[in-house]
Amino acid sequence: MGTQAPTRTQSMVAELTGLPKTAIRIHNHFLGGGFGRRLETDGTLLAVKIARHVDGPVKVVWTREEDIRHAMYRPYYYDRVSAGLDGSGQPIAWTHRIAGSSVVARYVPPAFQNGLEFDVIDCAKETPYVFPNMRVEYVRVEPPGIQTAFWRGVGLTHNVFVVESFIDELAHAAKQDPFLYRKAHAVNPRALAVLTLAAEKADWGKTLPARRGRGISLQFAFGSYSSTVVEVDVAPDGSIRIHRIVCAADCGIVVNPDTLAAQFEGGTLFGLTAALYGEITLKNGRVEQSNFHDYRPMRMNECPAVEMHLVKSTEAPGGVGETPTSAVAPALTNAIFAATGVRIRTLPIAPALLKSNPDMKDVRR
C-alpha cells in the first residue's frame, strides 16, 4: 500500500485484529504524495476486515467515484476579520475569528487543548506584518456526518487567503498600492526581500490592458518566506485566464534548487485548481461530484508558466511542500479585484460574479 503514516497504520491494524505489532508488516510504496489523504487508515482497515473473512490474499481497490464520494474532506471555514485604521490608513488593531472543523482534535486528540490547537490558527496568529494590537479567536464547528482531514496543509491554506485578501482590502481603503502597503508593514528583512523580488520580477506597476490585473501575496509558513504575484485576465463573460505567475522564496539553505522549483510549480497549480474548481457539494446526504468531469483539475491548456526566483540564504532550511499551495489563491483573487473591482471572499471562485456590467467598479462582495 501507499501510506504517509505506516506506524499509525500498523497500530490501527493491531487494534482491529488483536494481533501484536510484530505480526503486522506494512509494505509501503516509497513514491508519490498523499497530500493528507494517505494519513488516514480507513482504506487499510476495510481491506483487513474483508481479509478476515476470506482464505487467501485480498486486494481492495477503490474506484475514483468511490474515492471522491467517500473521502475525508478539507474543512470548510467561515472567518470574520476586522481592523481599525488611523488617519493615514495604517492598521492599529486587527481581529480575526475563525470558525470551522478541527482535524487535529480527531487525528491527535491530545494536541487539542482548551478548545484550541496549533494547525487551525497557523498563519493567522503570526502574520508577516506587525500590528500594535492583535486578537485571533477560534470557534470549533464540526460538520454533521462528515470527517474532515488534512489537505496538503490545512490551517495555512485558508488563513493565508483570509489574511492576504484583507491586507489588500486595507490597502484599497487607505488608497495605497497593495505592494507598497505590504512593504510598509512587513518589517522582517527576509519577508521584505521576497516581496520585493516577486514584485520586481513580475513588473509590478507596469500598465496593463482593461480587465487585466496583478495581485500579490506574502506569507511565512513552515520556516519559509514566499511571495506570489498572479497576472490575470477576466473576460466579459466572467471566464478567467491566468497569464503569468511569479514566485519568490527564501527557504533558508537549499539542498536541491530543482526540487524546490518543482515543488513551487506543482504546489501553485494544486492551489489554483482548488481556488478555481475545488468544490464538494452534498444533496440528500450524498456527495454530488464523482469524477474529473464534475470535480475537475486544471487542464494543461489552462496552466500558466510558473516563474521561480530564489533568495540565497544561510538560514536553517524551511519547508516548501505546502507553502506554494496556500500563497496562490489570495494573489489570484487580488488580481481579479485589480482587473474588475470585484472582491472574492468565497472559494472556489464563481465566474458569474465577474460578468461585465456597467457598474462593475462599484461591485463589492
Burial label, 212 (beta-carbon count in 10 A; 0-12, 13-18, 19+): middle
**How much is the pLDDT for 344?**
96
d(CA 234, CA 242): 9
pLDDT, one tens digit per residue, over 196-205 is 999 999 999 9
Q: Check whether residue 43 and residue 156 sit in a common domain.
A: no
Q: Check whether residue 196 and residue 56 sit in a common domain.
A: no
R_g of the chain computed on alpha carbons = 22
Where in the sequence is the domain holding 27, given as residue range(s)?
A: 6-61
Q: Check whether residue 186 and residue 320 sit in a common domain.
A: yes
Domain boundary among 61, 77, 106: 61
d(CA 96, CA 94): 7
Q: Is 45 helix (H, G, I), strand (E, B) or coil?
A: helix
Domain boundary among 61, 76, 107: 61
pLDDT band at 31 (very low <50, low <70, confident <90, very high): confident
Stretch (H or E) spanning 274 = helix 257-277
- Assigned domain for 173 exists: yes
- Assigned domain for 226 exists: yes
Q: Check whether residue 55 and residue 154 sit in a common domain.
A: no
pLDDT band at 145 (very low <50, low <70, confident <90, very high): confident
pLDDT, one tens digit per residue, over 152-162 is 888 999 999 99
d(CA 135, CA 157): 20
pTM above 0.85, yes or no: yes
Q: Which residues are registered as beta bridge partners of 85?
A: 91
Whether omega for the bond prior to residue 257 falls within 30 degrees of 0, making it cis, is: no
